Amino acid sequence: MTSSVSPTSSAVGLVRVGQLWQDMAPDMVDRERILRVVALTETHAECVVERDKQGTAGRKARPMALRRFATSAFKLIEDVVDDAEQALYTRFLAAMTEVQGTSPSPVEYAMAALRVHQELTAEAAQTQG
């Protein structure tokens, strides 16, 4: 999970960390399942569910083969904006996806966000000092 851009291109362009995709599988269209790419390998995208009528939002989806993004299996909803805010959002979102279980509590999500905030504060202090 080192690159933020996939090594292969598709009909819609490169798969990149931060993109938002709609899952167009027949069983997912009615659920309106929307996935955000949070990490990439050479062959797969790791995604988090941002929206799903069945309540799986906030959970990590199984890794998706990059080649599937070039098919009708997915539809690009939102491309990334290459700025610091998008990178921060992706970092917070990735931390929140690590909160797993059948029913994670708001406190667990808040603790994940607090941990990222503390890391960012420490990083900022190191760059200034």
84, pLDDT greater than 80 = no
Helix (H), strand (E) at residue 26 = helix 26-29
Spatial CA neighbour of 74 closest among 121, 28, 119, 9: 28
Supply the pLDDT for residue 2.
41
Q: What are the structure tokens assigned to 73, written together?
A: 């299996």
**Element housing 15 (H / E):** strand 13-16
Position 39 pLDDT exceeds 90? yes
User: What is the pLDDT, as a whole number, of residue 95?
Assistant: 85
Per-residue pLDDT reduced to its tens digit, 8-35: 444 445 899 989 999 999 989 999 999 9
Q: What is the mean pLDDT of the chain?
A: 84
Q: Per-residue pLDDT averaged across 106-125, rounded?
A: 90
Give the span between the Cα atoms of 11 and 87, in whole angstroms.
Answer: 25
Mean pLDDT score, 75-83: 82
Query: For position 74, what pLDDT does the model report?
Result: 95
> What pLDDT, on a 0 to 100 scale, did the predictor assign at position 50?
92
Instruction: Work out the average pLDDT over 85-112.
Output: 82
